[in-house]
């Protein structure tokens, strides 16, 4: 799920940083993205994560993307210099101690990752060019974030 409200004019100058939050399922999802019995608790983690990002974002955070894969929900939030996003993970862990939760951040002052999620390729003048496949997007995300440092 990508929030496309910023597609025509991303606030890159105001929100040049990108946070990644990983929420790992507590129960084996089998052949699904998550176990249906765990859905309500995962949804509660999501609500708390978004609320904490809003609170610590100090008006300088925008939740733009959730990516679901087997056993993992990934959340992406752009934020500005006034945000205290490093405070989100400890509070989320305190509220949901049974979950493996991770956090990382990168600088993305051109919102290049967001544009890729929308299916764009960045060029020198930031014009949309061609559609890129999901595999390329996931590969780029994992290269940017690599292994997380804050668990």
Domains of the chain: 8-110 (3.30.70.260)
User: What are the pLDDT tens digits along the chain (151 aa)?
Assistant: 788 888 889 999 999 999 999 999 999 999 999 999 999 999 999 999 999 999 999 888 999 999 999 999 999 999 999 899 999 999 999 999 999 999 999 999 999 999 998 885 444 443 433 333 333 333 344 444 443 444 4
Tokens of 79: 């934020």
CA distance 96 to 25: 12
Going from the C-alpha of 52 to that of each of 77, 93, 133, the distances in angstroms are 11, 11, 32
């Amino acid at each position: 799920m990508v929030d496309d409200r910023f597609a025509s004019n991303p606030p890159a100058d105001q929100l040049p940083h990108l946070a990644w939050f990983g929420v790992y399922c507590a129960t084996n999802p089998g052949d699904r993205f998550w176990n249906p019995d765990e859905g309500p608790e995962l949804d509660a983690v999501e609500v708390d994560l978004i609320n904490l990002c809003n609170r610590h974002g100090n008006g300088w955070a925008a939740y733009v993307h959730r990516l679901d894969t087997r056993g993992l929900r990934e959340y992406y939030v752009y934020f500005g210099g006034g945000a205290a996003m490093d405070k989100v993970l400890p509070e989320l862990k305190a509220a949901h101690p049974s979950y493996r939760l991770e956090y990382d951040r990168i600088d993305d002052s051109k919102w290049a990752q967001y544009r890729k999620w929308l299916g764009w390729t960045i060029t020198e003048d930031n014009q949309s060019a061609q559609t890129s496949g999901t595999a390329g997007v996931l590969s780029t995300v994992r290269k940017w974030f690599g292994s997380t440092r804050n668990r």
